[in-house]
Amino acid sequence: MRKISFRRSVLLSLALTLASPALAGPASDPWPGLVTDIFQGRAMAGGDGVLTLEAPTRAEDAAIVPMTIRLADPVRVKKATLVIDQNPMPMAAAFAIGAGSGVGFISTRVRVNSYTNVHAVAEGPDGALYAQAKFVKAAGGCSAPAAKNMDEANAHLGQMKYREFKSSEAGRREAQIMIRHPNNSGLQMDQLTHLYIPAHYIDRVEVRQGDALIFSMEGGISLSEDPNFRFSYAPNGAKTISVEAHDNKGNVFKSEWPIGEAS
Amino acid sequence: MLRCAITLATAAFLCCSGAAATAFELDEIAPGVYAHQGQTALMTAENLGDIANLAVVVGDEAAAVIDTGGSVILGRQFLAALQQRTAKPIRYVINTHAHPDHVFGNGAFVATGATFVGHKNLPRALAARGEFYLSSFRAAMGPALEGVTIVAPSLTVADRLSLDLGGREIILTAWRTAHSDCDLTVLDKKTGTLFAGDLLFLRHVPVVDGSLLGFLAVADALAKIDAVRVVPGHGPRVAPWPKALDDQRAYLTRLTADLRAAIKKGEDVDAAAKTAGQSARDDWRLFDDYNGRNATTGFAELEWEGQ
């Protein structure tokens, strides 16, 4: 169900993007339309006390812009969605938070095409929505939200890396999952170069401790090359962390690591 | 009002363009080798994107242009200045990589009939980024973007290519991902002049838009090239070779060490981007415009070490 609505929102977003130059200038605010497309037009309350969005005021590198969603009380959030309003595919990632996972924060990295609002939207167990927004200035110079090293990412497609960190949050552990993937939007047949690069991106990731879901993510091309997730969670005594990632070409990547004794 | 300002700017340009040959500096730095020094600045409407070094090599029969500048207006000035120095046809226009300050002037050279040449990855990079650059530079460049189109190479280099300008051989070398994923250098064998493109920055802080480790490795490989002088992509139009590599190597090495230390400590990318490389701040121009970006790019790459 969730997948269907995500795909639909992607198609709508692409359609909007293609149509937008004729419809509106850069000053137009896409947010009301995104609320309709992604959140079925539902009302949203302010995010204070529920979630916090951390984003840089200026993107240093258009292709790698760190974003963090912090949850004040994970029990009150079943889903957290990150939206880059002005991007060609605004819905960057929707994180479903595992029940009892105790996720305190999730950091990831996104592409930012231009000056944009970024929204983080939390959905409570009762379906209520809470939103927080940050304005991010685009990166300058020759920075572009494009692949830096597509050949390298393709050569190691699906390779993963796991790291653990000492958590500053009481009773939680902190970990990082990295997945090698070009995560690119692809190109239509380019009139100039006659190049065609098909879209190729991670669209679903599930992270578990033992059998219990920590979080799952549905995402698209607004996530950076080599998708990267750093997060905190409440340990349940499981001995392993496992990841299953899917991309839009049907590839499935799986990895599992022992949870360290430290921290 | 805006239209009025643009008209005035155009008039100012037209009135000065008669003197373009003197306004556009293009100096002979070695026999038959001409170089133009770009400003150490970001591209703006005022500087017409004149921020990269541009060059020409003239053989007995023909000339090769190396990079075309950050606008067609600038490219036309470059072409006019070059035609005052030689009547020989331009056989090749070589782009050292895909960044706008090196390729936005290409349109000025299309009518010369020259063959455009670049790294095998240059068409892909232009396809992936060209339209984005045209729109992202709209705010900074405004009317100076007039006529800018993306011109892709018809001759590409996978490894190494020798071109003949008539009694003068130039060697083109395509490199692995370093400053970008499509860096190409040119060596004029006759005078031992190396055109490094953005594989060499002087004064202007180096920019990493490909691979930090690749940049260091390729710069070390470049050092082995038998040349006596270099035209860097940014900074003074000519410098002694290979000594010119020293400052850049020191910066990239320090940035790499700082990032590795931050990653080892468990810092996240935002924190590392604010601190890594900062001790080199006083050594470079435009440091605050690019160091945070280099640190971000480098962090994402170095995180994969020790797999």
- B210-227 pLDDT, tens per residue? 999 999 999 999 999 999
| For residue B101, pLDDT beyond 50 | yes
pLDDT of residue A261: 65
Which uninterrupted H or E stretch holds A2?
helix A2-23
Rounded to 5 degrees, φ, ψ at B242 are -95, 10
For B156-206, write each residue's pLDDT tens digit. Answer: 999 999 999 999 999 999 999 999 999 999 999 999 999 999 999 999 999
pLDDT of residue A263: 43
Q: What is the mean pLDDT of residues B250-267?
A: 98
ipTM associated with this complex: 0.89
- Give the whole-angstrom CA distance, residue A37 versus residue A41: 7
| For residue A49, pLDDT beyond 50 | yes
Going by pLDDT thresholds of 50, 70 and 90, the confidence category of residue A193 is low
Name the closest residue on chain A to residue B151, using Cα atoms: A192
Contacting residues of B for A190, CB less than 8 Å apart = 127
pLDDT of residue B17: 42
Name the closest residue on chain A to residue B141, using Cα atoms: A141
pLDDT of residue A151: 86
Tell me how close the Cα of B191 comes to any Cα of chain A, in angstroms.
32
pLDDT of residue B239: 98
Half-sphere exposure of B221 (CA within 13 A, CB side): 15
Q: What is the mean pLDDT of residues A130-152?
A: 91
Q: Are A142 and B233 in contact (CB under 8 A)?
A: no
Cα distance between the two ends of chain A: 38
- Give the whole-angstrom CA distance, residue A256 versus residue A208: 9
Going by pLDDT thresholds of 50, 70 and 90, the confidence category of residue A148 is confident
pLDDT of residue A9: 43
- DSSP, res A133: E
| For residue B2, pLDDT beyond 80 | no
Q: Is B148 on the interface with A (CB under 8 A)?
A: no
Share of chain A above pLDDT 90, in %: 74
The closest alpha carbon to B249, from B227, B295, B280, B274, belongs to B280
Going by pLDDT thresholds of 50, 70 and 90, the confidence category of residue A226 is very high
Q: What is the mean pLDDT of residues B230-259?
A: 98
- DSSP, res A167: -
Going by pLDDT thresholds of 50, 70 and 90, the confidence category of residue A19 is very low
pLDDT of residue A52: 98
Q: Are B215 and B294 in contact (CB under 8 A)?
A: no
Residue with the larger pLDDT of the pair A188 and A208: A208
Tell me how close the Cα of B60 comes to any Cα of chain A, in angstroms.
32
Going by pLDDT thresholds of 50, 70 and 90, the confidence category of residue B283 is very high
Looking at this protein, which amino acid is placed at residue B167?
G
Using alpha carbons only, what angle is made at residue B26 by residues B25 and B27, rounded to the nearest 5 degrees? Answer: 115
Q: Which residue, among B180, B181, B205, B299, would best test binding to A if mutated, counting the most A CBs under 10 Å from its CB?
A: B181
| For residue A27, pLDDT beyond 70 | no
Residue A138, number of CB atoms within 10 A of its CB: 18
Q: Which residue, among A116, A193, A223, would best test binding to B if mutated, counting the most B CBs under 10 Å from its CB?
A: A193
pLDDT of residue A146: 86
Q: Is B100 on the interface with A (CB under 8 A)?
A: yes
